[in-house]
Amino acid sequence: MATSAQTVFKRPESLTEAQTHYCPGCTHGIIHRLVAESLDELNLRGRAVGVAPVGCSVLIYNYFNVDFMEAPHGRAPALATGFKRARPDMIVFTYQGDGDLASIGMGEIVHAANRGEKFTTIFVNNAIYGMTGGQMAPTTMPQQKTTTTPAGRDVSLAGYPVRMAELLSSLKTPSFVARAAVHTPMHIVSAKRIIKRAFQLQKEARCFTLVEVLSTCPTNWGISPTEATKWVGSDMKPYYPLGIFKDPDRENE
Amino acid sequence: MAKKLMKGNEAIGEAAICAGTLHYFAYPITPQSEVAEYLCWRLPEVGGVFVQAESEVAVGNMLFGAASTGKRVFTTSSSPGISLMQEAISYIAGAHLPVVFVNIVRGGPGLGGILPAQSDYFQATKGGGHGDYHLIVLAPASVQEAVDLVILAFDLADKYRGPVMVMGDGMIGQMMESVEFPSKHREPNDPDKSDWALNGAKDRKPRIVKSLFLDPKALEDNSFLLEKKYEEVKASEIRYELYKVRDDNRLLIVAYGTMARICQTAIDELEKEGIIVGLFRPITLAPFPEKEIFREATKDNIEVVLDIEMSTGQMIDDVERCLKGQREAVFFGHTGGIVPTPNEVIEQVRRQLEKKK
């Protein structure tokens, strides 16, 4: 049988060739790729507009081959709202970390979700402020050591980590809210399916869509990349359960 | 189009539609909530969109996003709300986005009061947000002028690709006057004709709307580009009005907005007594009509300049700067919602002229 070379794996068209600045063992790169593959596969690249956050992924526009806006800290959902209301024909997504979305941007994300704005949010939860050097985030785990909680997060003073997916899924307005992880190949495959579904729902102008993705920060967690992926499974996943919390097709369940 | 009797706030909303604006984002705040109450039904009639945001912080950032489409977008608010928008205003300036902000000023600081004031002059003309940037600031003195300046504000925002503020006061927003709108509405901007708006990187390289420049040289270049644009505005967009400025004036009043109208009444009264006083009314508060004020105030016949404001004295800093020490500038004003009366202005004029005898 004659065989010819066939491409089975390539850089998605939605990504540029630029090498990312992310630390070794950080999973931002994987999440970028899953978003880019979803845009490619749904043929959305040419009408996609991303909104960059403030945080480690502020330079995300260097890696995506799509139009981008760069929001003030936490305000990406407000920018996305403004853009999408003015151009409902475009595909709009925000890409935000935990400090950006769950702390300073808590108001903007809750109200965008509650209005049912038809954009997609990729919420990267790595339980720490990465870019500013490892301070406590609203999603930092109890007892987790950070530069502002050197003795570990004291829940009697700082409260418990915020579960954004659960919080947003408590809103009555129909939406798609899910949590995924990317610390093992199996989880990456599942995260891809969920992210693609979020963009598919936006393509159909169905509802607000948000995918929380558990991510790693070996640099600021002070452990190796291998230990970091293990910690996601052993410590984060039990507190932040994975799954689809709200789905417009399951509103009456 | 025939003249209509209309409340200032509603006329401002209609003016935006005349300017081809279909996107309005706002949060209620006295004394300008009627703009949202008007546009919430009026915009859908013309195919537009109103979003009532959760806060003025969100309003500013919705404008940031919506302006990135290349379409005309705006908001209206009042002092405390405008303070909350300063974050977005700084980013919008840094990212070169055309957005119109209307501030119907009320008394401050803090929650202040709900009555008319001009105490946001510093915030509007000297910054408010962080970084090197300038707003273009236009100050109407009537409902008709509010309409005209709102339309102009959109043109200037597009022309210079930056934020423009129309700064009225509670009086401009709340009073009813007869007003005439242009008979023909502007066509909304076509985002696909823009060379900077975001409309999808389908057949071109991606466009980025941003204000982050980690390389200090790039940031300096962006800041000087903003400065260069402002210099162009200074060269071509200065607007002001002279009232009864004659070569036998001994005193020149400088006042803007509602305060200037009250001064006109006082000037008319004084004229009956044979005292002829001139008024210089800046319409662009930023850029400030520096050369023009210097020219008018340093004429041989002018003995003193009287700056009158609904504040504790903010514009007077600019007036004194323009006079370069060649004439004395005296301040008079009320603030907190107290509006100086024509009689008070007359008394101040008499007192200053008496002193110069």
Residue B208 to residue A67, Cβ atoms within 8 A: yes
Phi, psi torsion values for A83, nearest 5 degrees: -65, -50
Establish if A128 touches chain B: CB-CB under 8 angstroms.
no
Domain of residue A170: give its range: 28-151+159-250
Instruction: Please give the ipTM for the structure prediction.
Output: 0.96
Number of domains in chain A: 1
Domains of chain B in start order, with CATH, are 4-236 (3.40.50.970), 240-355 (3.40.50.920)
Is residue A19 one of the residues assigned to a domain? no
Positions in chain B whose pLDDT score sits under 50: none
Is residue A17 one of the residues assigned to a domain? no
Is residue A194 one of the residues assigned to a domain? yes
Best interface-test mutation with A: which of B21, B25, B68, B71 has the largest number of A CBs within 10 A? Answer: B68
Per this entry, what is the length of chain A? 253
Q: How confident is the model at residue A38 (pLDDT cuts 50, 70, 90)?
A: very high
pTM of the model: 0.97
Per-residue model confidence (pLDDT) at position A2: 61
Is residue A184 one of the residues assigned to a domain? yes
Is residue A38 one of the residues assigned to a domain? yes
Per-residue model confidence (pLDDT) at position A253: 54
B227-239 pLDDT tens trace: 999 999 999 999 9
Chain B residues at the A interface, defined by Cβ less than 8 Å, are 23, 25, 49, 51, 53-55, 57-69, 71, 73, 87-88, 91, 95, 191, 198-203, 206-212
Q: CATH no. for residue A238?
A: 3.40.50.970
Shortest distance, CA A48 to any CA of chain B (angstroms): 6
Per-residue model confidence (pLDDT) at position B2: 83
A210-222 pLDDT tens trace: 999 999 999 999 9
Average pLDDT estimate for A37-56: 98
Picking from B38, B27, B33, the residue whose alpha carbon sits closest to that of residue B4 is B38
Q: HEC profile for chain B? A: CCCEEEEHHHHHHHHHHHCCCCEEEECCCCCCHHHHHHHHHHHHHCCCEEEECCCHHHHHHHHHHHHCCCCCEEEEECHHHHHHCHHHHHHHHHCCCCEEEEEEEECCCCCCCCCECCCCHHHHHHCCCCCCCCCEEECCCCHHHHHHHHHHHHHHHHHHCCEEEEEEEHHHHHCEEEECCCCCCCCCCCHHHCCCCCCCCCCCCCCEECCCCCCHHHHHHHHHHHHHHHHHHHHHCCCEEEECCCCCCCEEEECCHHHHHHHHHHHHHHHHCCCCCEEEEECEEECCCHHHHHHHHCCCCCCEEEEEECCCCCHHHHHHHHHCCCCEEEEEECCCCCCCCHHHHHHHHHHHHHHCC
Is residue A45 one of the residues assigned to a domain? yes
Alpha-carbon distance of A41 to A57, in angstroms, equals 23
Average pLDDT estimate for A13-26: 97
- When CB atoms are compared, the residue of B25, B199, B203 closest to A82 is B25
Q: How confident is the model at residue A186 (pLDDT cuts 50, 70, 90)?
A: very high
Is residue A21 one of the residues assigned to a domain? no
Residues A65-89, buried b or exposed e (16+ Cβ, 10 A)?
bbbbbbbbbbbbbbbbbbbbbbbee
Is residue A11 one of the residues assigned to a domain? no
